[in-house]
Amino acid sequence: MQRETLQHLAEERRRYLAGFDHHLLVCAGLGCPGNEEIVAELNRIVKERDLADRVLVRRTGCMGLCALGPLVRAEPDTIVYQGVRSEDADEIITALGREPVARLLLPPDLPFFTRQSKRVLALCGRIDPDNFDDYLAAGGYTAVITALTAMRPAGVTRLIEGSGLRGRGGAGYPTGLKWATVAKAAGERKYLICNADEGDPGAFMDRAILEGTPHAVLEGMIIAAYAVGASSGYIYVRAEYPLAVQRLKRALREAERHNLLGHAICGAGFDLKLEIRLGAGAFVCGEETALIASVEGGRGLPRPRPPYPAERGLHGCPTLINNVETYANIPLIVTRGADWFAGAGTERSRGTKVFALSGKVRYTGLIEVDMGTTLGEIINDIGGGTPDGLALKAVQTGGPSGGCIPADLLDTPVTYEDLGAVGSIMGSGGMIVIDETTCMVDMVRYFMQFCMEESCGKCVPCRVGTVQIHRLLGKFCEHRATPADLETLETLCNLVRETSLCGLGQSAPNPVRSALRFFRQEFLDRMVQPADTPEHNS
């Protein structure tokens, strides 16, 4: 793929798209079921009314406001319709260029749309993920050509280091530093892996990115492979995301067809082969070394670190592992520059972050905001606050490895440091709103059950400790716990956190610790004094 070819294809597609008076974009993500019927019906009516040369119906990725889906957007007037069914197709087409269909209309100034900062998600909901030329028309793959033909690998790494991008999978490790480590590592053969395991319940950012702009991820991977010297790579996708796998497979084929993957990419003497590997339902495989074990065809057992995957990873070779959202940021940084990237966010948490907002909030869905935006802004302004008039109790971030932040700390900015300071973590981006009807003890028991069932079983503290902690939490839920139980609970949390082999065990106690810190009374309320126990009184 040469620059001229790319420009030509992009220009052709742009011309084609501009040739229509109206576009009807239908969200074809997992969160909008029934979208296929809507597309079919719209196309049928367009054909029936002989409008095929004036109205173009396009499928797109997630538009974000899943709570009100299925969504259809009419351009160029940016009319967004909510709760669309195929029966509405007729009215929607009739309304083109006229008064929008009032009963389906979403207010255009909805803070959900106006307060976001879409960068990674900019094309999600704007292009057809299955149409390669759409991605080109929107500027796709220019970053690859720039990187491979106008930059040296070390220069690319320096650019990413300078941007301050931190891993979006949860750990927030400086991406450029990781790349530099892999690039420097000894060894002829190097690998890169995209961690698309997204195991946190409540997180669907990566799913939406893979379904909506798969090429952005591929583009990021190609640039990364070039920078670190990897010639072979895998995209490890969880088995629970069949639609994402399907879109990725197609995107890979298209990229290969256009010499963006394979041999002598873009004539730059750089080879890269990318393959999809399916997960099979194991949260622990989101952990880097467990993921590697799984790619090697084995049980997803984590390995002690050091050595780190950057030095000894897949098949003992230096391996770069990055998250989907991390890779999706790369083409933007290459095209727009490190300064542009750092223009959003804070000093130590630069750029934007995609969040999956769910739970007891009005506008559940997918959002992207500048790092540093407060939780309150996200939940109340963008998310529309809690429905049903119930009071917000807490917001849970970081999934089963994170913590619950109480309502009175909603002014906490969303940055790695600030979330850490209040006992939680950024995590991969799952954000769950909890209202006053949820019991925190039940909530943390739920998370501990998850960790217990997902524990790989290799190390003693996690395998057995999570079971013991879960049992204790059960006693609290049943109002049978004693003060000694509270002490044992805290001791066990300490043990599991400090001695577990991998991140799953190490962070399993986080929800409990966070709840004990901010909602301790709920635990105390569920305790009995020893004098009250039946055994004592019998």
Partner 1 sequence: MSITLTIDGRPVSGRTGETILQVAAENGIRIPTLCHLEGLSGHGSCRLCLVEVAGGGKLLPACVTPIREGMEVITRSERLDRHRRQIIELLLAERNHVCAVCMANGNCELQDLAMEFGVDHLAFPALYPLLPVDSSHARFVLDHNRCILCTRCVRVCAEIEGAHTWDVRNRGIRSLIVVDLDTPWGESTTCTGCGKCVAVCPTGALFEKGRSVGELRQHRPALVALVAGRSTEGA
Partner 2 sequence: MPSTRTDNRSDDHQWTAVDRTMQRHDYRPEALIETLHTAQERYGFLESNTLRRIADRLGVAPSKVLGVATFYNHFRMQPAGEHTLAVCTGTACHVKGNDRILAWVKEHYALAPGETTPDKRLSLVEVRCVGACALAPVIITDGEIIGKKSFAESTTAIREWLDDAA
Give the footprint of partner 2 on this chain (CB under 8 A): 30-31, 33, 66-67, 69, 198-204, 207, 239-241, 277-283, 294-300, 356-360, 364-366, 396, 399, 430, 432, 434, 438, 443, 446-447, 450, 454, 456
Cα 233–234–240 angle (5° rounding)? 165
Q: Is 365 in the site for partner 1 (CB under 8 A)?
A: no
Q: Mapped to the 3 state alphabet, what secondary structure does 218-249 carry?
A: HHHHHHHHHHHCCCEEEEEECCCCHHHHHHHH
Please tell me the distance from the alpha carbon of residue 471 to that of residue 67, in angstroms, as a whole number. Answer: 36
Nearer to partner 2, 69 or 461 (CB): 69
Among 463, 480, 490, 527, indicate the residue that binds partner 1 (CB under 8 A): 463
Q: Which does 461 bind (CB under 5 to 8 A by kind): partner 1, partner 2, none?
A: partner 1
SS3 state of residue 194: strand
Please tell me the distance from the alpha carbon of residue 386 to that of residue 438, in angstroms, as a whole number. Answer: 13
Among 433, 456, 481, 512, indicate the residue that binds partner 1 (CB under 8 A): 456
Find the shortest distance in angstroms from Cβ 254 to partner 2. 20
Q: Are the CB atoms for 105 and 81 separated by under 8 Å?
A: yes
* Structure tokens belonging to residue 382: 């963008």
Burial 266-296 (b: 16+ CB within 10 A, else e): beeebebebeebebeebbbbbbbbbbbbbbe
Find the shortest distance in angstroms from Cβ 299 to partner 2. 4
Q: Which amino acid is at 204?
A: F
Nearer to partner 2, 281 or 483 (CB): 281
- Backbone φ and ψ of 181, nearest 5°: -65, -45
Please tell me the distance from the alpha carbon of residue 261 to that of residue 34, in angstroms, as a whole number. Answer: 34
Find the shortest distance in angstroms from Cβ 446 to partner 2. 6
Q: Which does 67 bind (CB under 5 to 8 A by kind): partner 1, partner 2, none?
A: partner 2
Q: Is 12 in the site for partner 1 (CB under 8 A)?
A: no
Q: Is 296 in the site for partner 1 (CB under 8 A)?
A: no
Among 278, 335, 499, 528, indicate the residue that binds partner 1 (CB under 8 A): 499
Q: Which does 297 bind (CB under 5 to 8 A by kind): partner 2, partner 1, none?
A: partner 2
Find the shortest distance in angstroms from Cβ 511 to partner 2. 10
Strands 232-237 and 191-196: parallel
**Interface with partner 1 by CB under 8 A: which range of 26-34, 407-415, 448-456, 514-522?**
448-456
Nearer to partner 1, 181 or 499 (CB): 499
Length of the chain equals: 538
Find the shortest distance in angstroms from Cβ 204 to partner 2. 4
Q: Which does 241 bind (CB under 5 to 8 A by kind): partner 1, partner 2, none?
A: partner 2
Nearer to partner 2, 205 or 320 (CB): 205
Nearer to partner 2, 110 or 151 (CB): 110
320 forms beta bridges with: 192
Nearer to partner 2, 138 or 369 (CB): 369
Q: Is 495 in the site for partner 1 (CB under 8 A)?
A: yes
Residue 298: partners with Cβ closer than 8 Å, 6 or more residues away:
none
- The CA R_g of the chain, rounded to the nearest whole Å, is 25
Strands 191-196 and 319-323: parallel
Contact code string over 266-295 relative to partner 1, x by CB under 8 A: ----------------x-x-----------
> Side-chain half-sphere of 470: how many Cα atoms within 13 Å?
16
Strands 232-237 and 22-27: unpaired
Q: Is 468 in the site for partner 1 (CB under 8 A)?
A: yes
Nearer to partner 2, 220 or 399 (CB): 399
Residue 167: partners with Cβ closer than 8 Å, 6 or more residues away:
173, 174, 175, 178, 322, 323, 326
* Structure tokens belonging to residue 389: 């008039």
Nearer to partner 1, 86 or 455 (CB): 455
Q: Which residues bind partner 1 (CB under 8 A)?
A: 282, 284, 299, 303-304, 306-307, 452-461, 463-468, 471, 488, 491-492, 495, 498-501
